[in-house]
Amino acid sequence: MGALPPPGFGRCAVTVLEAGLTRAQVAERVASGRTNHLPARSSRSLGAIVRANVFTWFNGLIGSLFVIMLIVGPIQDALFGFVIIFNALIGIVQEWRAKRTLDSLAIVGEARPRVRRDGAEEQVPSSGLVVDDVILLAPGEKIPVDGTVLESTVLEVDESLLTGEADPVRKDAGHEVLSGSFVVAGQGLMRAERVGAASHAAKLAAEAQEFTLVRSELRDGVAQIIKFLTYLLVPAGILQIIVQTSIAGGIRNGISRTVAGIVPMVPEGLVLLTSVAFAVGVVRLGRRNCLVQELPAIEGLARVDTVCLDKTGTLTEGGMRLAGIETLDPEATQARVREVLGALGALEERPNATMAAIIEACPAPEPGWTAQTVAAFSSARKWSGATFADERGTWLIGAPDILGADTPAADRAEQVGAGGLRVLLLANSPKELSAESTAANATAEMDPRPFALVILEQRIRDDAAPTLAYFERQSVNLKVISGDNAVSVGAVAQTLGLAGAEHPVDARDLPDDFEDQLESNSVFGRVTPRQKQQMVVALQSRGHTVAMTGDGVNDVLALKNADIGIAMGSGSGAARAVAQIVLLDERFATLPSVVAEGRRVVGNIERVSNLFLVKSFESFLLVVLTGIGRLPYPFLPRHSTLVGTLTIGAPSFFLALAPNLARARPGFVRRVLTFAVPAGLINGAASFVSYYLARLAPGATLPTEQTSAMITLFTASLAVLLLIARPLVWWKAALVGTMAGLFVLVTVLPVGRRIFQLQFGAWQQTVLSFAVAAVAAVVLEILWRWARARDVETTRTAEPTDEGDG
């Protein structure tokens, strides 16, 4: 981490050591496949989407039964197969839309490395890099491929994502650099050597993607439920086949009733809706210019209870303005200070927002300011500087409480910063810069002498205050962690109404074990990149689900370790590379929509999972009871299709896309099975009782018996739908009413009765069917209230309700 006498730095006349490849050489490498082409990590191919939606175990089972029913039964008993085909098509279309959205946004948000070709600098897509390309490196940029350093000017690289080493590593000419690391200070040139799948980054990306999928509780939960149902399906299916084919009075009728019992046990729509909900979430976020780089990030958003915010670029806008200069040294004049600032600014080829504001106000001085040694800015050191030739001295610029520690200059800077202004200290030094004197812990060795305060005005984002207020209403903890002066950060946070901002904490004063201080405070200043990472990990160790927002290279470690990393679109390439979500339009106000979308997806998948699983368990009980009693199964496949479509299939699509503000919590499988298993058994028992009572009626026939059972099953299933849809608002009431109306229409119209083979017995029998369903509905209501009370008792966590469904 040091300084190097530059052969020419930034605007001071860069020495061109490499002309780069010619166009012909690039074309030859492209033709031979030596490019950096890799599939986008945010999406999969159309073939993969089709396979995922078509070639599933359940689709294979139901598809086989569909073919059998087309052979042995009337077409109306094979309607369930057409539903599966329709569902698969919906899943493919929605995921394809999501893929197109992701791919188009990925192009917009992609970091474009700078290369030198034919002696000129140009930007190319990362996939456009080829072997032997000469790549220019600057602070904040991700190293896109593996290679060797050709030229180094104080080049420092952070390899912590690869090695875990906290300190930046000095890279001189001839040193190897690996993709997956990023530049934190200085600049340089490198030659691309390992590209595409051969690069270190490609291997890391593949591993990271696989790991992310494993950590999805929602996907794991659905898989566990399916595995559990498979164990039930096999013995129940065998029982159904044996009994129904032996008593049904014909092979065709036996097969039809066997299929009617097996198909409803399969929650085929659950997997589909999970995929569709994720895909629709991606498309919705895409419309808000949010690039979702890892699909499970949508699930993670729903679980976030703590958001860590970097001040610069998040609460404040990236650009700044030089508001004033306050001299501290008797020999300091405004003109002299501006001259020195102009000389320091001229050394920056790619200035950050702070130096850009200084350069705009302080143009480069007259020739004669030649840098002998340069120390590029680093987040660890908190300052940059240069030693100039011709006795112009050594000048440093950076944090007042670092360069001016324990001096009146630091106190004055804190007073000015209390107004929300950003303050830098310009200092001179009697010593020349060297590799040793620019180490992160060697500031005191430079013996800096305060010369002037440089005051910068930073504009607070217009949308910052309402965004913070939203998170406060949603019981989401907010932590502002910034590398800036704690008092200045606290002043900005106070103007935004952040609770606890009046007591900012200087991170340098924190003990090694700072979990308690982190929990009880909201604003932290002078936080190093490593401390940001440690803060995220500490919050996670206390059971929090943490989202981290940032845009700079100093946020990369924290973004990578957070449960959800959210980067700004104009941020450093390194920050965008490790984040799961990128806000391409820079709008901080988009964050509430991002969190709300995650909650909608996960909350509604849990909601509709109950519908599908109630059906599975009610069918399982009916199969067992009719098997034990050696009775004909009370339904044909067409009956199951009708009830399932009106009480589960159609409503679930609407409910899965509805607003839902409830924060997701662990225990998805437990909560769903707590209600779905007993509710399914209640509905199955009610249907069987209605069926059995109908068999006792004088003159009963199988069509009248199955009609009575279907009335009870539909009514009880509608009661479950009403419970799951709570809180009821107008559109949900209209949805339930429409489903009930369609069922009545089918039973009233002669064509409906004929297609679905419905035949009503005496009116007393119909009333009895509704009465059994009413009893089931009362028991279901009791079960629902008990399950909710048990859930509240189990979690004991404060969270917003889902009353925002309207």
Residues marked active site are found at 310
Q: Which of 376, 420, 426, 361 is nearest to 398 (CA)?
A: 426
Q: Write down the number of H helices and E strands in the chain.
A: 28, 21
Spatial separation of the C-alpha atoms in residues 75 and 66, rounded to whole Å: 10
Residue 470, burial from CB neighbour count under 10 angstroms (0-12, 13-18, 19+): middle
Spatial contact of 312 and 554, defined as CB atoms under 8 Å apart: no
Side-chain-side CA neighbours of 298 within 13 Å: the count stands at 29
Report strand pairing: 182-194 vs 134-137: antiparallel
Q: How far apart are the first and last CA of the chain?
A: 57
Are 590 and 656 spatial neighbours (Cβ–Cβ below 8 Å)? Answer: no
Phi, psi of 144 (to 5 degrees): -80, -25
- Alpha helices for 110-171 (secondary structure H): 160-163
DSSP code of residue 731 = H
CB 550 within 8 A of CB 572: no
Q: How many CB atoms lie within 10 A of CB 445?
A: 14
- Coil, strand or helix at 63: helix
Sheet-wide strand order for 371-375? 316-327, 449-460, 422-429, 393-398, 383-388, 371-375
350-360 b/e (C-beta count within 10 Å ≥ 16 → b): ebbbbbbbbbe
Alpha carbons within 13 A on the beta-carbon side of 287: 8
Our CA angle for 494, 417, 483, nearest 5°, is 80
Residue (of 154, 219, 167) closest to 4 by Cα position: 154
Cross-strand bridge partners of residue 691: none
CA angle at 422 for the pair 417 and 424, rounded to the nearest 5°: 100
CA atoms within 13 A on the CB side of 453: 24
- Give the C-alpha separation, 733 to 727, whole Å: 10
Residues 222/609, Cβ–Cβ less than 8 Å = yes
Are the C-beta atoms of 132 and 25 separated by less than 8 Å? yes
Cβ neighbourhood burial of 44 (10 Å; 0-12, 13-18, 19+): middle
Which H helix or E strand runs over 147?
strand 146-158
Q: Specify the DSSP class assigned to residue 198.
A: G
Task: Specify whether the CB–CB gap between 325 and 413 falls below 8 A.
Answer: no
